[in-house]
Amino acid sequence: MPNPKGNPQNFEPAQPKGNQPLTDQLSFRVTKEMKEEVKAKDDPPEFCRQAIQEKLDREK
């Protein structure tokens, strides 16, 4: 009998946009204004990942 609560395919993890899996989380504090500006972006998580990666690349 099928599961009435949903389809198992719906529970598969989302595919990452890059070539490496996104397995870890990072949390940090920002000002209210910074949070509002980031949340206004089309893809806030990807925006943050790119900004952090750009800074890391510059420091190498």
Instruction: Give the model confidence (pLDDT) of 10-22 as tens digits.
Output: 666 556 566 888 8
User: Would you state the structure tokens that stand for residue 47, as one six-digit string?
Assistant: 């925006």
Instruction: Give the model confidence (pLDDT) of 21-58 as tens digits.
Output: 889 999 999 999 999 999 999 999 999 999 999 999 99
Quick check: 43 and 51 in contact, CB under 8 A? Answer: no
What's the pTM? 0.67
Residues 4-9 have a mean pLDDT of 67
